Amino acid sequence: MYKPNDLILRTTTSLIAFILLGFSIYLLLAGHNAPGGGFIGGLMTSAAIVLMYMAYGSAVLEKVLPINYRLLIPTGLLIAVGTGLASFIFGEAFLSHTYGYFHVPVFGELELATAMLFDFGVYFTVLGVTISIILSIANDH
């Protein structure tokens, strides 16, 4: 009987998926001063996860990454709206953002902006939406 052997696919996936994940985090963090941001970062992360699904199948992945992707959507939205609402506390107009310079060990002096938090919200929403769409189509027999 024919039995598929996808050794090459699985070996390269374990390598490529981690490069993809690292690159997606880089894109997410670089968005302020270079091309990138929450949207493309989220898409790239979901590409890595979809690649792992293709190589290892859903049974393995559900054990390795036990995440309810559908819950990621409201979580991300809540983070994004929350950054807008936080400006209410300081008596500023809705969606006002601010930034400051902080000394972080290892990295040194860093400029941290609250717009980053909004991007995290976008990142989680995009990740949740993409994987939910792909998985619900894939699991539909």
Partner 1 sequence: MNNLAVLPIIIPLVSGIILAFFPKKLNLVRPLSKIFMLINLVIAGYLLWTVFSEGSVILETGGWKAPYGIVLVADKLATLLVFTTNIIAAACALYAPYSLSDRKEQYYFYSFFFFLITGVSGAFLTGDLFNMFVFFEVLLMASYALIVLGGDKVQLRESIKYVFINLFSSMLFVTAVAFIYGALGTVNIAQIAERVQEVDQQGILTTVGILLFFVFAVKAALFPLYYWMPNSYAVPNPVISALFGALLTKVGIYSIIRVFSLIFVHKIEVTHGMFIWIAGLSMIFGIIGAISTNNIKLIIAYNIIPAIGFILMGIGVFNQSSVSGSIYYLVHDMLIKGSLFMLAGTIAYAAGTSDLRKFSGLIHYYPFIGWLLFSSGFILAGIPPFSGFIGKLLLLKGALANKDIAIVIIGLLSSLLILYSIMKIFINGFWGEKDETIKPVSLKGRIAPIVMLLALSVFMGIGAEFIYPFVESISTDLIQPEVYIDAVLKE
- Residues in touch with partner 1 (CB under 8 A): 71, 73-74, 77-78, 81, 84-85, 88, 91-97
Residue 54 or 133: which CB sits closer to partner 1?
A: 133
Q: C-alpha distances in angstroms, 128 versus 72, 82, 100?
A: 5, 18, 30
Please, what is the minimum distance in Å from the beta carbon of residue 91 to partner 1?
8
Please, what is the minimum distance in Å from the beta carbon of residue 76 to partner 1?
9
Residue 51 or 81: which CB sits closer to partner 1?
A: 81
Please, what is the minimum distance in Å from the beta carbon of residue 77 to partner 1?
5
Residue 60 or 112: which CB sits closer to partner 1?
A: 112
Whole-angstrom Cα distance, residue 86 to residue 120? 15
The closest alpha carbon to 38, from 132, 119, 115, 121, belongs to 119
Please, what is the minimum distance in Å from the beta carbon of residue 70 to partner 1?
9
Residue 57 or 74: which CB sits closer to partner 1?
A: 74
User: Rounded to the nearest 10 degrees, how much is the dihedral formed by the CA atoms of 31, 34, 36, 37?
Assistant: 10
